[in-house]
């Protein structure tokens, strides 16, 4: 028998302005974890959530994580561990989210102030963190409140784990999860994470796989200090020249990784797997809209989806130490550091991939016959993840999607990385589900990040409905 959700749904609609106001308060806190100067704001965001949760009757603990490894004078922001409900007759579900955000400045190209939630005439709620991940995090709190106002029984015991360092490598989180696996998390029977996005803009999805991410740096140094190109140009071997020549060897125009041994690690595509892509609701036009251009490598839907989810990719992200401000500056940098990453897939191994990258970069640098010095290393790594979409956790979520959105969800993988997904799976031994709220055009990490009002309000209903269905779904 389907859960009775009408009173809960009605209260979500009735409280929608209140829920948007709550999101506005959260967006107004610039909780940028990568900026040491903003660390007090990250902590302030933790206290905001603590107060909101306690007002709803949840048990809340702010768990300190110690000092930041690359800056021992700086405290890591606390992890919020919260519990709502202690009924032995109910299932216990663990949810995860993060309350920190990417950097944002109006001068980056935002049309609005990034830390002020603005709802435009099209129902787009613009603001840093609106979709990644403050909207989804508050979705769980809003679902609790709507149940309370409706006088409806909350269907599960809810465990919550919200961190403040996700956008800066989740420092300290893995150790906490492993330590709490048999303590705070011990009752969890399934895990749900809402920190990803629909494939398009119209059809919801459930996500069962993620690519991993190995992030690398290549440092090339030579002179003792920056040089004037008019005085020293032509007399010194330039680190920037060496670096760009090495970076250019990593990947070709069509995204094919040039490092030997990478492709050989990738698990072959089976016939059954290949057919999964045929029925997925996705058009190249949607991708063009997300890109803001038609600069896709392929115009084929299936090839594009497989390139995004199923195969590794290599992206070059930037150069530290080089002149990047407007205008002309004739400087020769003494040291430059190139940054690039490889998104990894089954069955790629972190250590093997690192070994292949280091070997190749050193070989390419040696070919330059330069007197400059090279250092190559991995800044951080995270493994890929694939779960079973046939688990009762997923079937419950699918029923919730049909109840709220009126359609069956697509089952998708994702090109991005959420390393904590694998950590939760390995530490708890439970199935992990990714249940997105936002859509593909939200622009997380980009300028003008937004969450559509429709996705936010219906997403609150979805999170609540999921808890009702997962509370009664048969465990096969």
Which residues are catalytic, by number?
100, 166
Fill in the DSSP letter of residue 330.
Answer: -
What is the sign of the dihedral through the CA atoms of 389, 394, 399 and 403?
A: negative
Over its C-alpha atoms, the chain yields an Rg (Å, rounded) of 24
Write out the two tokens for 369: 């016959």
Helices (H), 28-94: 39-55
Fill in the DSSP letter of residue 260.
Answer: T
Nearest alpha carbon to residue 159 among 92, 98, 105, 208: 92
Question: Do residues 26 and 115 touch, judged by C-beta distance below 8 A?
Answer: no
Q: Provide the CB-side half-sphere exposure for 180 (13 A, CA).
A: 22
Distance, CA of 228 to CA of 415 (rounded, Å): 42
In which residue are the tokens 């799976």 written? 425
Contacts of 256 by beta carbon, 8 Å cutoff, 6+ apart = none
**Helix, strand and coil in the chain, % to nearest 5:** 35, 25, 40
At residue 344, what are phi and psi to the nearest 5 degrees? -100, 160
């Amino acid at each position: 028998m389907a859960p009775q959700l009408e009173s809960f749904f009605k209260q979500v609609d009735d409280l929608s302005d209140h829920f948007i106001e709550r999101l506005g308060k959260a967006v107004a806190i610039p909780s940028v974890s990568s900026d040491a100067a903003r660390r007090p704001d990250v902590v302030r965001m933790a206290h905001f959530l603590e107060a909101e949760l306690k007002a709803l009757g949840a048990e809340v603990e702010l768990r300190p994580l110690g000092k930041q490894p690359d800056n021992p004078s700086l405290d890591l922001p606390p992890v919020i561990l919260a519990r709502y409900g202690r009924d032995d007759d109910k299932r216990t579900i663990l949810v995860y989210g993060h309350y920190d955000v990417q950097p944002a400045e109006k001068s980056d190209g935002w049309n609005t102030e990034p830390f002020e939630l603005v709802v435009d005439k099209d129902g787009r709620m613009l603001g840093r963190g609106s979709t990644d991940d403050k909207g989804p995090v508050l979705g769980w709190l809003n679902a609790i409140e709507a149940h309370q106002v409706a006088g409806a029984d909350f269907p599960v015991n809810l465990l919550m784990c919200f961190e403040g360092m996700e956008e800066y490598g989740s420092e300290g989180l893995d150790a906490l999860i492993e330590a709490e696996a048999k303590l705070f998390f011990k009752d969890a029977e399934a895990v749900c994470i809402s920190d990803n996005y629909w494939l398009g803009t119209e059809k919801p999805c459930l996500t069962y796989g993620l690519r991993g991410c190995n992030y690398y740096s290549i440092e090339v140094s030579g002179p003792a200090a920056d040089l004037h190109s008019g005085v020293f140009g032509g007399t010194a071997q330039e680190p920037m020249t060496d670096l760009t020549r090495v970076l250019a060897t990593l990947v070709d125009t069509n995204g094919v990784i040039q490092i030997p041994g990478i492709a050989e690690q990738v698990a072959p595509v089976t016939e059954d797997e290949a057919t999964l892509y045929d029925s997925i609701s996705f058009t190249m036009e949607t991708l063009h809209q997300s890109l803001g251009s038609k600069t896709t490598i392929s115009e084929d839907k299936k090839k594009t989806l497989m390139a995004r989810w199923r195969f590794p990719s290599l992206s070059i992200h930037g150069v530290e130490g080089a002149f990047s401000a407007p205008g002309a500056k004739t400087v020769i940098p003494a040291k430059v550091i190139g940054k690039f990453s490889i998104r990894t897939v089954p069955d790629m191994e972190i250590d093997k991939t690192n070994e292949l990258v280091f070997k190749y970069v050193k070989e390419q640098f040696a070919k330059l016959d330069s007197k400059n010095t090279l250092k190559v290393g991995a800044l951080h790594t995270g493994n890929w993840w694939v779960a079973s979409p046939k688990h009762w956790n997923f079937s419950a979520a699918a029923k919730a999607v049909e109840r709220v959105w009126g359609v069956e969800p697509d089952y998708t993988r994702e090109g991005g990385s959420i390393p904590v997904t694998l950590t939760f799976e390995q530490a708890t031994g439970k199935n992990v589900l990714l249940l997105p709220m936002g859509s593909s055009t939200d622009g997380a990490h980009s300028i003008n990040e937004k969450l559509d009002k429709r996705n936010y309000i219906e997403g609150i209903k979805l999170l609540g409905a999921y808890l009702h269905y997962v509370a009664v779904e048969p465990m096969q």
